[in-house]
Amino acid sequence: IFTFIPVFIDPPNIIIGSSFDEVGFVDFIVNIMPCIFIIATPTALIIMVLIYSPYMTMKKMAVLDAEKLKETYPIYDEPRLLIAGTTTFFVILLFFLHPLHHKDTAWIALIGAFLTIAFTNPHDVQDALRNHVEWDTLLFFGGLFVLVEVCAAMGLLEAIGGVLASVISSQDESQQLTIAITLILWVSAVTSAFLDNIPYTATMIPVVRILHEELPDTLPIKTLVWALSFGACLGGNGTLLGASANIVTAGIASGKGFNISFMNFFYPGMVATIVTTAIANLYMLVIYVWI
């Protein structure tokens, strides 16, 4: 749950942050962190403890030997670690300074990656690009954006946005923002739970923009963006297929001899998703509507 606060960690937020000039790195932290850090994460932790309490055992924690850990996991190349760490520090610093320089975070991250490769592996850049870059993920995003643009050209996204706009506009003007927040948040959560939240987010971005253009006076673009972010990211916790992180975690666990089936994940994941989405809905109504 906590990973989607910054724009550069969770893929849906990376897509949102790169698609809307109106929101930046600091905006995600200011608008999302209070709800997630103070309310949703502790609530999800309590839910997990209640669900798995019959399987928990209390054992005394083993004393960790720091020197033994250093011997087991030594740092093989301190200069390269220093270069990579310094580059990462400045990349994150530039993310925080986005309101000042207004540069796309994707370009900042890309330049940081190339600088790291150039200074840590200058004589074999091809090996770094070939074996250490997630080309399948990049190609997936590229193909996805092409597909979304095709849907937009065919008028599908405009039709979806028009339907949502008609439902919202049919309500009393004082209730339009409340309906829009609740509708986007829960539709996003339910859909992202059973479909990967990455393509869903990419599909909904033009729809959110259309909603704002249809009703600019009552539907602020930033508020709609936060509803989409909350719904897509929290909904991804609902099932094993909801987010890429779930599948990767299940794969790692399987390699260690712990199999996580769809139903094993479904019960605690869906309970946590419903509760945290309800919390996010109440939080958004309090912050953006009632106050």
- b/e per residue 215-236 (b: at least 16 CB within 10 A): beebbbbebbbbbbbbbbbbbb
- The better pLDDT of the pair 2, 132 is held by 132
| pLDDT tens, residue by residue, 76-108 | 888 889 999 999 999 988 888 877 777 877 788
Q: What is the pLDDT of residue 2?
A: 46
**pLDDT value at residue 203:** 81
Residue 151, CA distances (Å) to 40, 224, 248 in order: 35, 21, 29
In percent, the amount of the chain with pLDDT more than 90 equals: 21
Q: Evaluate if residue 185 carries a pLDDT over 50.
A: yes
What percentage of the chain reaches a pLDDT higher than 70?
94
What is the token pair recorded at 114?
Answer: 């190339």
| Cα(34)–Cα(68) distance, integer angstroms | 39
| Residue 151 predicted with pLDDT over 80 | no
Nearest to 238 by CA among 263, 255, 259: 263
pLDDT at 8: 46
Report d(CA 48, CA 50) in Å as an integer.
5
pLDDT attached to residue 137: 66
Considering the entire predicted model, what is its pTM? Answer: 0.77
